[in-house]
Amino acid sequence: MSWAGWASPAWLGALGLLAVPIAVHLLSRGRQRRVRVGSVRWLAPAATARARRLRLARRGLLALRCLVLALVAAALAGPRLTFPAGPGARDWVLVAPEVAAERGRLEAANREPYARLDALLAGGAPLRWLAPGAGAGELATPPPAPAADSWSLVQEASRAAPPAVAFEVFALDRAASLRGARPQIDRQVVWHAVVDPAPNRWIERAVPLAGSRLAVFVGESDPAGTRYRRLDVAAGAAARDGELEVAVEDGPEGRRAFVIGGGSLAADDALAVPQREPPGAAILFAAERAADAAYVQAGLEAVRDSGAVALGAVRPLALGAAAAEPSRQDLGGPEPAALVFWLSPDPVPAALRESVTAGGVLVSDQLARSEPCDCVVRPLAGGLPVRFDRRGDPDPPLAAAAALWEDRHGRPLLEAERLGDGAWLRLHSRFHPAWTDLVLSPAFPAWLLELASDASPAASARIAPSDRRAAPDQATPRRAAAGAAAPDAPGAQTGRWLWLGAAALLALERRVAAGTPA
């Protein structure tokens, strides 16, 4: 038998109610009858002796009442006791494959977990690798692949293990192996977190830039945390930043970027780069909006060169009589442009609206009339205030638009409407300094970056398997609630016996109280 804790330990505070029967016992004088006598001279010594006998006789009753309350409080707290499931049941030792594979390097900094592991194995404890299928039986050799998610693997082993078997888990404390929700396990788990002190690097992503250059983002991590660095590398060349060196090469399977040295793990130090250019941006403008197009193009190229988002070429196209209905080639080639700007007083063509329905952003400044506007808005969260000197009213208005920017009178300056999986943004002004100082503000490229991020495929939020950040406060599974216990766990539901004991003692207390002399 082993102690497994309390299901609801807060109920132990009910033990404070033991003061109630004690107080009642001390303050109670019992039932009394008034008897008329001629003199109490000879009764005083007898009364003192009788009072002393009463106190002695009621101590057992007081103990019964206190014991009943104590059993009720303990039953509400839900004590958890487990008993051996049967002969031969032993606790399981779950070991992550990388803990064994990298023992020579890790043991120098973590001797205590390995000493405990050796002691368990010497005592005959069954070894199971923390890998899929751990509950099927003991494995002689570790699996070839490292544990991808320690928590889910412990849950899998818990479902396969007998109810009374406890776990001792030996796993790395990397954040990469502790993804997802912490499990709730109704068994005793001792978690030995093996710290990996060595730093590591990996390629997080590579964004194509102008020409054949790539913006390569390298993750660097150690137990203290994770940092990212950027290097711009030309195809077929290498770039160095201090001790960090990154190279890009073209091979038969395509282009790839990789870290040279730096402690990177195998298969995690390189990243394949798509050969085709990501969706770009198209700027279609009328002759009188050439200046507007120049400001938009400069902002988009700044966003592209930043490498913060995968944005292809920026294509400006002057609208003429033949380009009233732009072709797919005008919008950037076979793939639709991620961002399309329509800078013209003419209505937006239906083909252009259709081009962003599969995903993308269309921005237009179509104006029917304009008027002065003395207002200031903040187009970006925490961004700089932007002044608009003139505004316009589009004709016709959007059917189901949401106002993103408004002037001081509550009139919209930027509206958005969904077009399938894309969006259509209509600016009630122009991208020109005579209309707004937005195009001269740092808020402009920041806003374009938001648009490009919405239009481009979402960046991966993965945690690289070689990310060696430590997660010491989370490397412990939660204790399952009392109701989650396996129904066949012998001795697990000990609370019911306490309720039965409290009921029996309460009946005994009533009999003793009824028979106690007044």
Rounded to whole angstroms, the Cα distance separating 392 from 408 reads 15
Rounded to whole angstroms, the Cα distance separating 189 from 60 reads 43
* Domain shared by 206 and 180, yes or no: no
* Domain shared by 288 and 362, yes or no: yes
Side chain identity at 237, as an amino acid letter? A
Which residues, in sequence order, are bridge partners of residue 255? Answer: 250, 273
Q: Is the dihedral of CA 328, 455, 290, 353 positive or negative?
A: positive
Residue 186 is part of which domain span?
92-196+470-484
Domains: count for the chain: 4
* Domain shared by 309 and 441, yes or no: yes
**464 in any annotated domain:** no
Interval 500-507 mean pLDDT: 86
- Using alpha carbons, list the distances in angstroms from residue 293 to 29, 277, 350, 434: 99, 23, 21, 14
* Domain shared by 97 and 179, yes or no: yes
Which residues, in sequence order, are bridge partners of residue 285? Answer: 318, 343
Side chain identity at 472, as an amino acid letter? P
Q: Tell me which residue of 24, 168, 46 sits closest to 95, measured CA to CA.
A: 168
Burial of residue 257, with CB atoms counted within 10 A of its CB: 0-12 exposed, 13-18 middle, 19 or more buried: buried
pLDDT band at 420 (very low <50, low <70, confident <90, very high): confident
**What are the tokens at 421?**
């999986």
**What are the tokens at 13?**
């505070």
Rounded to whole angstroms, the Cα distance separating 244 from 219 reads 11
Q: Tell me which residue of 5, 58, 7, 4 sits closest to 29, measured CA to CA.
A: 58
Residue 104 has pLDDT above 90, yes or no: no
Our CA dihedral for 182, 183, 185, 191, rounded to 10 degrees, sits at: -50
**460 in any annotated domain:** no
Q: What is the CATH number of the domain that holds 331?
A: 3.40.50.880
pLDDT for res 85:
45
Rounded to whole angstroms, the Cα distance separating 33 from 446 reads 93
Give the DSSP per-residue string, 3-41.
Answer: EEEESSGGGGGGGGGGHHHHHHHHH----------S--T
pLDDT for res 398:
61
* Domain shared by 21 and 57, yes or no: yes
* Domain shared by 409 and 321, yes or no: yes
**463 in any annotated domain:** no
**36 in any annotated domain:** no
**73 in any annotated domain:** yes
* Domain shared by 70 and 175, yes or no: no
**45 in any annotated domain:** yes
pLDDT in tens, 264-297: 555 567 777 766 667 788 999 999 999 999 999 9
* Domain shared by 441 and 320, yes or no: yes
Residue 114 has pLDDT above 90, yes or no: yes
* Domain shared by 68 and 215, yes or no: no
Top pLDDT among 135 and 373 is at 373
* Domain shared by 319 and 181, yes or no: no
Residue 389 has pLDDT above 60, yes or no: yes
How large is the angle between the packed helices 443-455 and 290-306, nearest 10 degrees? 70
* Domain shared by 439 and 320, yes or no: yes
